[in-house]
Amino acid sequence: MDQNIDDVDLKILREYTLDARQSFHKVAEKLGVSVGTVRARTRKLESMGVIRSYTVIVDHEKLGYSLTAVTEVTVSKGKLLETENEIAKWPQVCAVYDITGLTDVLVIAKFRGRDELGAFTKRILALPNVERTNTHVVLTSTKEDFRML
């Protein structure tokens, strides 16, 4: 952990992960610190790049994205970053990870149905440096939450 981040900063971050719409005043009240402290610490965390953006957590299933797939991708040597960057641009992609093991890349994506997943898989396989894929369909999602604080 960065030495410039202390317990107050972590408490502020935890509050924002619970509700990014909270005002400085509300966060200050919850933490028992001044509004000026929350404002200054928030600006510091933003300038450090710790807070990259403020967002909402969307229930993708309620928007029709009932299918989650985890796809392993094997890429030709030397073209890993180019391939990852291309896949990361696609709207249905939630995460792209450069991994160790038998495959090179792990892609997590959401789809409205099998047809979309099929087209997605064919699109990955059509990339010039992709050797093969191995796709896993998620049956049940026990937890899907990237908030760690």
At 57-67, the pLDDT tens digits run 899 999 999 99
What are the two backbone dihedrals, phi and then psi, of residue 96, each rounded to the nearest 5 degrees?
Answer: -130, 125
- Please state, in angstroms and rounded to a whole number, the distance separating the CA atoms of residues 112 and 127: 23
Going from N- to C-terminal start, the domains of the chain cover 7-47, 60-137
Rounded Cα–Cα distance for residues 125 and 84 (Å): 13
Across-strand partners of 134?
Answer: 72
Give the pLDDT score at 78. 84
Q: What is the CATH number of domain 60-137?
A: 3.30.70.920
User: What band does 1 get if pLDDT is binned at 50, 70 and 90?
Assistant: low
The CATH class that applies to domain 7-47 reads mainly alpha
Q: List beta partners, residue 73.
A: 105, 133
